[in-house]
Structure 1
Amino acid sequence: MNTRILGLAAFAACLAVPAVAAVALSDAAGSYTISPSGSSIRFTIGKAGGGGFDGAFGRFKGTIRIDNGDVGRSKVDLTIYPESVGTGQGRIDAFLRSDAVFDAANNPEIQFRSTSVTRTGDTTALVTGRLTARGRTFPEKFTAELGGLRGGTIKFHVTGKVLRSRYGMDVGTPLYSNVVDFDMTLTGRRG
C-alpha cells in the first residue's frame, strides 16, 4: 500500500523521466509544491493524413501530498492557465485562447483534482481525478511514473489522453484529432 502512494504523487499532473532509483515511501511522504523550474505540461493534437501540432502551457501551479499511511488520503491538485498556451505559431495560439477552444477570457483556469490512485508497478500508478475546463467536469485518468527523489525535490513523468469534445473544444474535428495527448514532467519541492 505504501508504494501505491508514490504513484499518486506522480500526477501532480510532460517529458520522459526515467525511474532513477527506488525511493522509500517514508522518504517521499509529505507535501510538495509543483515548481515551474524543471516542470513542463506539453500536448499533441494529431491531424488526419499526418502532422498536427504540439504545444505547451507556460503557467500552471499545483500541490502534491503523499500520505505515508493511506493512499486514499494522498492528494494532487493542478491548475493550468490556458492563456499561457504556446505552439510557436501566434495565429494558432490566439485561436486556442479564443472562445472557439479554451475561451481563456471567460474560463481562466483548467483544474485537475485527484480522486483515487491505483498502483500499477514499483514506481508507477494510475491516477484518476476530475478535470474541469470551460465549466465542464469529467473523470480523467493519467499514468504516472516516479522519476526520483533528491534533496527535497520529487519528479514524475505523467501521460494521458483527453477527449476535447467533452469540454466543448472539438472545433476542427475530424480533420484534427479529438484526442489530446498529454506528456508532463512535474517537479515538486517539499514544503
Structure 2
Amino acid sequence: MKLAPLVLVAALAAVQPAFAQSSASTDPAKVEAGRYVVDKTHAKIIFSFNHLGFSTSYGLFSDFDAEMTFDPKSPAKSSLAVSVNMDGVVTTVPKFDAHLKSPDLFDTAKYPTASFKSTAIEVTGPTTGRITGELTLHGVTRPVVLDTTFNGAGVHPMNKKFVAGFNATAKLKRSDFGLGYALPVVGDEVTLTISTEFVHQ
C-alpha cells in the first residue's frame, strides 16, 4: 500500500518535463503567418449581466467555429470570423437554458446561429488590440468592439501543432439586438469574456 503513492509521484515526475517545455512566446512577431481555426476544447464565450440588482448572472457558449488569418508583419491586416451555435447556450440551470432558447429571448428555432466578422483591427500595445466587427444576433446586425489581448503562441507541447492564444472582452446592449425581455428589471448591458486557442492550418 505504501508503494502506491511513490509510484504515482514517479509517474508524475516522468511526464512533467513534457509539460514544462512550452515554447509559448508573447512576441506577436514570432507568430506563424497564415490561417488558424479555433480549438473548441480550449475556447469559451462567457456572458454576464445584472440580475434584478442582486447578483451577476453568467452563461457560456463553447460550441462555436472561428477562423483567423494572422499577419505578424502587419497585424492590422489580420481577420477574424466566428459562428456561434445559439442552441448550445449553457447556464447550468436547465429551465433558464430553455427560456434563453425560447421566442422570449434568443429564439434559437428561428435564429440558430450568431456571427461576428471583423471589419478593422487596431494595434493598441505590444500584446493588445481592438477588433471592430459586425455582430449578427437575433437577426440584427450591429458593430461590436473586442478589446483583445495576445496571450502567447508556439508549438503545443502535446499535439506538436503551432497554437496562438487570445483573450477578449466586449460590452453590448441586448436591447440593440431586439432582446428586450424583462427590461429594465434585468440588466440591459451584457459583458462578453472570451478565451480561445487557435491552431495553425
What TM-score range do you get, normalising by the shorter chain? Answer: 0.7 to 0.9
| 2:100 alignment counterpart | 96
Give the Å deviation of 1:73. 3.2
What are the Cα deviations for residues 147-190 of structure 1, in whole angstroms up to 9, with x where unaligned? 11021001000101111001111211111111111111011000
> Is the aligned partner of 1:177 residue 2:153?
no
> Is the aligned partner of 1:74 residue 2:84?
no
Q: Which has the higher contact order (CA 8 A, sep 6+)?
A: 1
Paired residue for 2:32, among 20, 28, 31?
Answer: 28
Equivalent-residue separation in structure 1 for 2:28 and 2:164 (angstroms) = 12
| 1:161 alignment counterpart | 171
Q: TM-score, normalised by structure 2?
A: 0.81
The root-mean-square deviation of aligned C-alpha atoms, in Å, is 1.5
Equivalent-residue separation in structure 2 for 1:114 and 1:147 (angstroms) = 19
Which amino acid is the alignment partner of residue 94 of structure 2? G
Which amino acid is the alignment partner of residue 75 of structure 1? S
- Runs of 4+ more than 6 Å apart: none
Number of residue-to-residue matches in the alignment: 172
Paired residues of 1:136 and 1:167 also in contact (CA < 8 A) = yes
Paired residues of 2:31 and 2:72 also in contact (CA < 8 A) = no
Which amino acid is the alignment partner of residue 113 of structure 1? K
Q: Which runs of 5+ in 1 are unaligned?
A: 1-19
Equivalent-residue separation in structure 1 for 2:175 and 2:32 (angstroms) = 37
Paired residue for 1:189, among 175, 182, 199?
Answer: 199
Equivalent-residue separation in structure 2 for 1:162 and 1:66 (angstroms) = 26
Q: TM-score, normalised by structure 1?
A: 0.85
Paired residue for 2:47, among 43, 49, 70?
Answer: 43
Equivalent-residue separation in structure 2 for 1:155 and 1:115 (angstroms) = 21
Which amino acid is the alignment partner of residue 43 of structure 1? F
Equivalent-residue separation in structure 2 for 1:169 and 1:47 (angstroms) = 15
Equivalent-residue separation in structure 2 for 1:150 and 1:47 (angstroms) = 40
Equivalent-residue separation in structure 2 for 1:174 and 1:52 (angstroms) = 15
Identity %: 26
Paired residues of 1:128 and 1:140 also in contact (CA < 8 A) = yes
